[in-house]
Structure 1
Amino acid sequence: MGSKKVKLAWDDLMISDQEREAMTEYLSFLSKGKTERESWQIIESWAQREGFVPLDKLEGFQPGQRVRLAVRGKAGILAISGQRPLSEGFRLIATHIDAPRLDIKQRPLYEEEGLAFLKTHYYGGIKKYQWMALPLSLHGVVFLRNGQKVEIIIGEDEADPVFTISDLLPHLAKDQYNKKLSEAVSGEGLNLLLGHNPSLGEGEERVKSAILVILRDKYGIEEDDFVSAELEVVPAGKARYSGLDKSLVIGYGQDDRICSFAAWKAVAEIQQPEWTTLVLFADKEEIGSDSNTGMKARYLENFIAELITLQSGKYDGLLVRRSLARAKALSADVTGGYDPNYAEVMDKRNSAFLGRGLVISKYTGSKGKYDTSDANAEFVAEVRRIFDDAKICWQTAELGKVDQGGGGTIAQYMAIYGMEVLDCGVGILSMHSPWEIASIADLVMMIRGYQAFLKYSG
C-alpha cells in the first residue's frame, strides 16, 4: 500500500442498527441460498419487494425506474435508470452466485455391498479431502419427463437426514499417507452415501430399490429423472457468527455471495442516480464463466440493448457499444485473506488482511498475469478517491506470491466491452472450503464502499 497508513476497519467503526440488521439478513441469505438458483430466487424476491419490475413488463425507461432481468433462474441483473442517457455509460457492480460444490452425475445411483451411493462430479476448485466425513445436504431441481419441476432440499431441516462421504480410517491409511495431498482422495471416489435399509426393496439390489421407492413416494422421481436434474451436494447447516466476540462469519459459499449480498444492499439504497446503476449476479464463474448463464453469455450486452431501445424508442447498435465502452465497473469478488498459519505462500506487503476493509486488486491472474483484467491506473485512482472521500477503509492486494498459484474473476469478460473495471471485494480465510470465514467489519465497509461507488456522480 506504499505510504498509505495501515488502518483497521474496526477503528472508530460505528455500526448502525440498520447495518446490524443487515448482518442477520446476511446469515440468513448464506444459510438459505446454497445454490445459484436459490441465491437468485432470494435476490429476486428482495428486488420485487423494492420495486424492480421484470424487463418484459417495462414500456419505457425513465429516470428512477427500476428493472430486473432473470437469466434462466440462475443469474440476473438489476438496474435503476439514471438522470443521464444510458448511451453515455453506466455504473456496474458484477458478482457471481455459484460456489464450489459436488454435482450429482446423470446416472448416479448404485448399490455396493449393502450400501447405496450417488456418484458426483466436483464443480470448481476444491480440495477433495475437505468434503469427506462431513454432514452434507442435497439441493436442486429435477425436471420430470412431462416438464414438471420438483424442488429438492434434504438435510437442512432439523428433522431431515443428512448425507456424507465416507473417509478411510487412519489405522489402514499407510498407502494413502504416502500419496500427494492432491491425490489422496480421487474425484471418482467422492460418492455420496445415500442409504442402507433394504426392507422396502426387492430384487438383487434391494437397497437401491428401496431408495427408489422413497424417491418415488416422496418426490415422484424415477431413476431416469436424474438425467434431467441439477442436484448439488453442499455442506449441511446454517451460517453462524464465529469467534468469542462474534467478529467473524463462518458459512458456505461466501465466495462470492458475500459480495453479492453487499452489492444488493448497495443498490437497494439508490433512489435517483446520476448514472444508470446496474448490479449483476452471474453463474458459472467457478468453472470459467461458460454456459448460457455465465458471464460469457452476453446477457449484459443484450440487457443494455433492451434498455437503450426502451429509452430511445429504437434499437441502435452503436449506442449500445458506446454505452458499454463508457461504463465504469467493479468486479466484486473475494480474494484469499492473509492467514498466519500459511504465511509462506503470501507476499505480506501485497496481501488482504481481515479487518482492514475493502480490497482492491489492480490485476488477478497467474503465471505472469495471464487470464486477468489489468485495470488502468487512471481508474484505480478514481476508485481510491471515491473510497477516501466516503471514509471507506480499504487496502490493496493480490492473490499470493508470484508463481505460487493465482486465480481469475469475471473482470476480464467485462473488460472485452472496453469498460473500465477493477476487482474489488474482501479477503476471506479457508477460501473454497466447505466453511469459509469473513470479517464483519470488512462486510460493513464493502456495503458502504459499493454504495459510494454507485452514487458517485463523476
Structure 2
Amino acid sequence: MAQSEFNRQLIEFLDASPTPWHAVVSLAERLSSAGFSELKESGEWTLEPGRGYFICRNGSSIIAWRQPMAADLAANGWRLIGAHTDSPCLRVKPQPELHRKGYFQLGIEVYGGALLNPWFDRDLSLAGRVSWRDEAGQLHNSLIDFERPVAIIPSLAIHLDREANSSRNINAQTYLPALIGQGKQKPDFRELLREHMLNTGTEGVARVLDYELCFYDTQGAAEIGLNREFIASARLDNLLSCFIGLKSLMDADAGPGQVLVCNDHEEVGSMSASGAQGPMLKQWLERIMPDVHARNRALANSMLISADNAHGVHPNFSEKHDDNHGPLLNAGPVIKINANQRYASNSETSALFRHLAEEQGVAVQSFVVRSDMACGSTIGPITAAELGVKTLDIGVPQFAMHSIRELAGSQDAESLYRVLVPFLELKEI
C-alpha cells in the first residue's frame, strides 16, 4: 500500500477514535469489513481454520485473530502484536457541576500521566460511554460524541500571573475545571446528556444513570511540514500502533496463529479486567487451546511484538537523550531496550526484528533511556510475565508524548507496517 493512502486511512481512524470505546468500534468496523467475525465471550464458539475473528471486553479492549489449523498450532505457535487503546486525558467527574460567578463548569479528573499545559485554550468536545435506563426500566449502554466544541479551559492572563512562563505549577483540582456555559442556574449534567442523546437519535432515554466521558481536542489529525514530513494528532500514543497492528493483521497472508491485542488502561497501570495485567488474553488463549500441554508448546514457539511509541530526540532538548540512542522521526521504527526489564526486548527478539526489517529495506533505530533517568514501560513486560512468551518492545518515534497534540513522522507508521506483515507470516520463530 502506498504511504499516502496508508496515512489517509490512519488519519481517518484517529479522528474517528476520540476515546478507547470509539477506538474499539473503529477497529471492529474495519475488521468486519475485512471478513472477520465478532464473537461474544459469553457465547459458544465454533471456529473454522483460516477465518478471522475478534472479541471485545468492556467495549474498550479487543483481541482479533486469524484461526490456524489446529494440528499446526502447538508446533508453530502464535505471532502476536500488542498495543493499547487508551491515552492520557481529562475525564468528567461523577458529580461535576460547578457554578461560579455565573459560569457553568465541569470538574475533571486527570487520566494517566498527561501533559497539562497544552490543555489550556483548546476547543474541546466530549465523548465516551453513557449508561441509561429506558421507560420500561431496561438498562442500556451507548457511545456518544458531541463532535463540536462544547468546552474550553481558559488560561489566566499573563498580567495576572507574571511567573506563568517561568514557574507555573498546575493544580488539577482548581485550574482545570472546564468552562461549558454561562447562566443563572446550575444545570443537571446528566439531564444535559439525556437531551443530547435524544436530539442525536438515541430513542427512549428516560434517565442517564452514569457515564465515562473524556474531553478531547476537536482539531483533527493532519499531515504538516513543508513537505508533509509529520503527522500531528491527539492520541498517537497509542492509537498509531493499534492502526498499524490492525492493517498488518488484515493484510498478512494466512499462516500460523496471528493475533492483535489492543488493551485498555495501559496509561494507568494495566491492572483491570480488560488491561494487559488482567486475565483477558490468558482466558482467550485457554479457550482457544484448552489442552495445557499443547498451549504451553504453542507459547514456547510464539512471540509478541509490543508496539508502543518511542521518544524521538527533540531538537530543542537533545540533552534528554543518550547521545547514541536518540531516535529520529522518519528514520525507522525503534527497538526499545532497558536492562531492568521496563521493556521486554532481548537480543534474540531484537535480532529477529532487525533481520525482517533488513529484508524489507526498513531502517531500524534503538532507544535506551539515559542512565541517570527513570524509564517508562509498556504492556510488553506485563504480557511477557503473564504468558511466558518471547517479547520485543518496538515503537514509532514521536514528540510531545502525552500531550493533547502529539507529533510523529509521516513515513514511520507505514515502515513499521512493512515489517509487521512478514512477522505475522513467519512459519517459525
Which TM-score applies when normalising by structure 2?
0.90
Partner of 2:187: 209
Is this contact kept in 2: 1:387–1:452, CA < 8 A? no
Letter in 1 for 2:156: L
- Whole-angstrom distance in 1 between the partners of 2:398 and 2:177: 28
Partner of 2:72: 85
Query: Any idea what the Cα deviations from partners look like across 1:399-437, whole Å, max 9, x if unmatched?
Result: x42232321000111111221101011100111111111
Q: CA deviation at 1:214?
A: 4.5
SS at match of 1:38: helix
Letter in 1 for 2:334: V
Partner of 2:320: 345
What is the 5 A alignment of 1:166-245?
166-174=154-162, 179=167, 181=168, 183-198=169-184, 206=185, 208-209=186-187, 214-219=192-197, 228-245=210-227
Partner of 2:309: 334
- Whole-angstrom distance in 2 between the partners of 1:209 and 1:357: 51
Match of 1:70 among 38, 50, 56: 56
Partner of 1:8: none
Call closer, same or farther: CA 1:440–1:209 in 2, change over 3 Å.
closer
- Whole-angstrom distance in 1 between the partners of 2:287 and 2:294: 11
Query: Any idea what the Cα deviations from partners look like across 1:313-357, whole Å, max 9, x if unmatched?
Result: xx3233333333432110000011111111111113112111111
Query: Any idea what the Cα deviations from partners look like across 1:44-94, whole Å, max 9, x if unmatched?
Result: 0111111112235642342x1211111121111111123563223210010
Letter in 2 for 1:217: E
Q: CA deviation at 1:104?
A: 0.7
SS at match of 1:217: helix
SS at match of 2:215: strand
Partner of 2:238: 256
Query: Any idea what the Cα deviations from partners look like across 1:376-398, whole Å, max 9, x if unmatched?
Result: 32222222212212222211112
Tell me if 1:302 matches 2:283.
yes
Partner of 1:7: none
Is this contact kept in 2: 1:326–1:418, CA < 8 A? no
What is the 5 A alignment of 1:42-61?
42-55=26-39, 56=43, 58-61=45-48
Call closer, same or farther: CA 1:226–1:287 in 2, change over 3 Å.
farther
Match of 1:127 among 107, 115, 119: 115
- Whole-angstrom distance in 2 between the partners of 1:334 and 1:215: 34
Among the aligned pairs, what percent are the same residue?
25
Match of 1:433 among 400, 403, 419: 403
Is this contact kept in 1: 2:61–2:262, CA < 8 A? yes
What is the 5 A alignment of 1:75-114?
75-83=61-69, 85-88=72-75, 89-114=77-102
Call closer, same or farther: CA 1:457–1:130 in 2, change over 3 Å.
same
SS at match of 2:139: coil
Tell me if 1:28 matches 2:12.
yes
- Whole-angstrom distance in 1 between the partners of 2:263 and 2:346: 24
Letter in 2 for 1:184: I
- Whole-angstrom distance in 2 between the partners of 1:345 and 1:81: 44
Letter in 1 for 2:115: K
Query: Any idea what the Cα deviations from partners look like across 1:242-289, whole Å, max 9, x if unmatched?
Result: 11211211000000111111111111112321x211011111011111
Kindly report the root-mean-square deviation, in angstroms, between the aligned alpha carbons of the 2 structures. 2.3
Call closer, same or farther: CA 1:317–1:282 in 2, change over 3 Å.
same
Query: Any idea what the Cα deviations from partners look like across 1:142-174, whole Å, max 9, x if unmatched?
Result: 1124413343212x3xxx343111221110113
Gaps of 5+ in 2: 200-205
Is this contact kept in 2: 1:386–1:456, CA < 8 A? no
Gaps of 5+ in 1: 1-15, 199-205, 309-314, 364-368
Partner of 1:280: 261
Call closer, same or farther: CA 1:35–1:213 in 2, change over 3 Å.
closer
Tell me if 1:355 matches 2:330.
yes
Aligned length: 412
Most deviating of 389-398 and 32-41: 389-398
Tell me if 1:141 matches 2:120.
no
